Amino acid sequence: MIKNKKSLFFGVVPLVVLALSVFLFFVVFVGSSYIFKMVFKSSGDSYTRDFEGFVDDINRLGLGVSPPDLIKLKKKSAIIGFSKGADIYECIDCYSSKIQHINVLKPQKQECENNACVCLCIENFQFAEYEGDPIKYGFCPKFECKELEQNIIEEASIPGGGYWKNGFLFANDVSEANGLRDFNPQIDPLIVEKRQNIVGICSRDMLEYRAGLGFDSCIITAYDLAKKLEGQDKPDEAIEKYSDFIANHESGREVENSLFRIGNIYMEQNKYQLAENIFLKLVNEHPNTHHKTKSIENLNELGVSVPEISEEDDVETETTA
């Protein structure tokens, strides 16, 4: 009888040990695997949350410039902006080597449809190059995108004479990604500027480069270039830039300023018919312009009869743009 009990005891113990071993296996290995996945998922979510907060801050920003802000980006990840109406982000003349341009297709995401948008490639952002092709193409296995309420500036100059077209791109641990020195999100903050209905996003390198050109902002438009050219006594080139700006913007104070400055330049050049056409365009298409009084005075001086404005309609006139 005692012998049978011993046999039973020694038969049960291995089963208990085996059961405990299986239990510990699940606790240690399966549990740790689950914890690892949860930590990894949480880490991935933190990048997504930071990206979403970054875009939300842009949408909430009033007119002006934001404080420099660091954004979390994993290695081999990227944040890319796409202008409204554009199908592709381009970096033109970014490098002097055989690869001169960079292209990234706008994702077919609802947030980007008929909108400007910012997209996060959370991992595995890379470029493809093809023999004899001066363009390298950016690819991402999966984008997460958010809509921008304002459009991204269509062109942004960068050091070396190149420029971004229809957006922006910053990538972590990806060489020669955007025409700038390699981006380190831990020490390289981004600066956002909002001006009327456009947004510009740049780095300190870009601001330093532009300061050398006489500008102190992320956004440099054809209007800014025109004013600079006019100050350099290059009136014909200034007219060309003012006209470029008008062609790309429907309304706004800077459109009115551009028309007014073109009219004044034509007056100074004794091109009176051209001046008349411009001032008429200004007062007819922008009846509430702050240049209304002076424009009508100029038209009267040119012999064009324009109804007088009442004091109620009269507004302060800027004599310079």
| pLDDT at residue 117, rounded to an integer | 97
| CATH superfamily of domain region 222-301 | Tetratricopeptide repeat domain (1.25.40.10)
SS3 per-residue string spanning the chain: CHHHHHHHHHHHHHHHHHHHHHHHHHHHHHHHHHHHHHHHHHHHHHHHHHHHHHHHHHHHCCCEECCCECCCCCCCEEEEEECCCCCEEEEECCCCCCCCEEEEECCCCHHHCCCEEEEEECCCCEEEECCCCCEEEEECCCEEEEEECCEECCEEECCCCCEEECEEEEEECCCCCCCCCCECCCCCCEEEEEECCEEEEEEHHHHHHHHHCCCCCCCCCHHHHHHHHHHCCCHHHHHHHHHHHHHHCCCCHHHHHHHHHHHHHHHHCCCHHHHHHHHHHHHHHCCCCCCHHHHHHHHHHCCCCCCCCCCCCCCCCCCCC
> pLDDT-derived band of residue 33, with 50, 70 and 90 as boundaries?
very low
Whole-prediction pTM value? 0.72
The model's confidence at residue 307, banded by pLDDT at 50, 70 and 90, is low
Task: Give the lowest-confidence range in 153-162, 198-207, 265-274, 301-310.
Answer: 301-310
Average pLDDT over residues 110-122: 95
Domain boundaries, the chain: 1-219, 222-301
Question: For all residues of the chain together, what is the average pLDDT?
Answer: 84
Q: Which of 38-42, 237-241, 270-274, 291-295 has the lowest mean pLDDT?
A: 38-42
Give residue-wise pLDDT tens across range 203-225: 998 999 888 888 888 888 889 89
